[in-house]
Amino acid sequence: MCFSEENSVILYMVSQATVFQYRFAPGDSLKSEMVQMEKEIIFEAKHMRKEFGPTIALKDVDFTLRRGEIRGLVGENGSGKSTIMSIASGMQPATKGEMFYKGQPWKPATMVEAQDAGISMILQEANTIPGVTVAQNIFAGHEADFSRFGVINMVKMKRAAQKVLESFGIGHIKAGDLIDRYTFEDRKLVELVRCVTDRTEILVVDETTTALSLEGREILYKLIHKMADQGKGIVFVSHDMDEILEQCTDLTVLRDGDIIGHLNRSEMDAPDAVKTIRYMMVGREIGDKYYREDYDTSHGDEVALELQDVSLGRIRNFNLKLHKGEIIGMGGLSGCGMHDIGRIAYGLEKLEGGRVIRNGKEIKTPLAAINSGIGYISKNRDTEALILNGPIQDNIVLPSIPALENKTFISPSSEKRLSDREIDNYRIKCHGGRQYVNTLSGGNKQKVSFGKWTAKGSEVIIMDCPTRGVDIGVKQAMYALIEEMKKEGKAILMISEELSELIGMSDRLIIMKDFEVTHQVERRPDLKQTDLIEYMI
């Protein structure tokens, strides 16, 4: 398109949903300045409100996504960031408000309807179907594409699924295998394959990277940038500020169900961007102290937990001594064996050899672990750590029931008092202890998972990705609590895929690769992530 103005000519060109404006004065060459025009709006929400009983998740939100954007959404747990896109993707309806997708009114009834129309959402928690194959997970809801006269051609489905897996660079996952044999990370990659099709116009990534290794994250990052280059829209929900600033083109900040503000790429590149964003998120200064500032690795002489020559699967003759007042960190890539060590130490796995010892007694079951003063924060909180269809209060007090019993009677007021204390300590966003856990955000679920063991006063706590999906303010509070636990003489085994977290909090750091210990290092001020990565890959 070409239009003339006084003493100039303006040429408009369209490329991948982006409009470029060229202005030429008489005699100018084609190297004249190019100005990028505003991109086309692909999704818009107006006056969106969402209520969960007395809890208001979204108040009066206006949100816009344009083609070619990778828009970050950040905020504290329960700020409403996941709620916006769960409504857009058909997971739940809004209480009030309206939505528009590609210029048309939008009100999907289900996630399948939304995905068929081009809006897909990868959830934070596991969302695969157990007991069936990888292929059946990938094509769930689209079995008719492989059916004739009501009979599904499974060979054709598996062949198509394997082709898609290989196109994503994850051919090590076999379409004919049962989904249950794969790790949590691989199952998240299967979800990614299921969500992204040729029809996808908007991809919502909701805290997905917390479940992925470095390789898995790179696969996801390449995908979202490729989609953005094609004029698709990406919404990226994350608590990882470094990740947000590196991967996103734009940023929206929420607090308590309201949108506080937006940042463009140049504002995100500013030297004080992180400080600005954090202040917008919480409405106050976070402070500089984050991890431990001391380098005192001393601890008690008493061994609080010991693994003696334990063997399970590819883990052979593993030994560990955890002392009172000691924080041992375990790091590595997902699938290296460190998560298995946590499960072994809590009695979740039947050993092929060796023993787990606490106070001179062998730990063979989770009940024995709990009774001996061991707590366990599972990475897979929805399936192993929490009763989702139960109240917050019941989840928090469950390990403490024997201590609350008076003969055969448990005082309801004692339960409530204990639960309310942890709700206050962790600032769990809820309308009371009777609210069901499945109505909470991912980060608030994690607070409940953490709180049930601090409520019990466990002397040994195994923490598997303890701050996964938790916002910056709560992370800071959790780190302070862990530091205080060390001072009180509690023993902590911290398993994490975040090296910065391990370096910042551990007295001793163990790195694993291929189910073996490849490196151990004591806490020191000059220790960096680059010093450890070579032992992981």
CATH number of the domain at 370, please.
Answer: 3.40.50.300
Q: Given the structure tokens 């003969």, which residue do they identify?
A: 407
Cα first-last separation, the chain? 53
Q: Please indicate, yes or no, if residue 29 is contained in any of the structural domains.
A: yes
pLDDT at 24 over 50: no
Q: With CA atoms as reference, report the closest residue to 18 among 43, 37, 31, 42.
A: 37
Per-residue pLDDT band for 430 (boundaries 50, 70, 90) equals confident
**Region 141-162: what's the mean pLDDT?**
90
Q: What is the mean pLDDT of the chain?
A: 87
- Least confident interval from 61-65, 90-94, 284-288, 502-506: 284-288
48: tokens are: 């969106």
Structure tokens of 115? Answer: 């995905």
Q: Do 182 and 269 fall into the same domain?
A: yes
Tell the residue number behind the tokens 């190297």, with chain if given: 31
Looking at residues 266-290, what average pLDDT do you find? Answer: 82
295, part of any domain: no
User: Residue 157 falls within a domain, yes or no?
Assistant: no
Q: Is 277 in contact with 263 (CB distance < 8 Å)?
A: yes
Which pLDDT score is estimated for 286?
61
Containing structural domain, residue 54:
41-131+178-282
- Provide mean pLDDT across the span 491-499: 93
Say whether pLDDT at 470 is over 80: no
pLDDT higher than threshold 90 for residue 165: yes
Class of residue 200 by CB neighbours under 10 A (exposed 0-12, middle 13-18, buried 19+): middle
Element at 485 (helix H, strand E): helix 472-487
Is 31 among the domain residues?
yes
pLDDT band at 317 (very low <50, low <70, confident <90, very high): very high
| 361 & 506 share domain | yes
Looking at residue 301, what is its pLDDT? 94
Q: What is the pLDDT of residue 14?
A: 41
- CA 55 – CA 51 distance, rounded (Å): 6
Sequence-distant (≥ 6) Cβ neighbours of residue 384 within 8 angstroms: 348, 378
In a domain, 148, yes or no: no
The pLDDT-based confidence of 288 (bands split at 50, 70, 90) is low
Q: Which of 6-10, 74-78, 282-286: highest mean pLDDT? A: 74-78
Question: How far is the C-alpha of 239 from the C-alpha of 243, rounded, in Å?
Answer: 8
User: DSSP letters along 99-113, please?
Assistant: EEETTEE---SSHHH
Task: Report residue 285's pLDDT band, with 50, 70 and 90 as the boundaries.
Answer: low
341 and 248 in one domain?
A: no
Q: In the 8-state DSSP scheme, what is residue 97?
A: E
Residue 169 placed within a domain: no
Would you say residue 213 has pLDDT above 80? no
Q: Is position 153 within any domain?
A: no
CA distance 206 to 22: 38
Q: How confident is the model at residue 50 (pLDDT cuts 50, 70, 90)?
A: very high
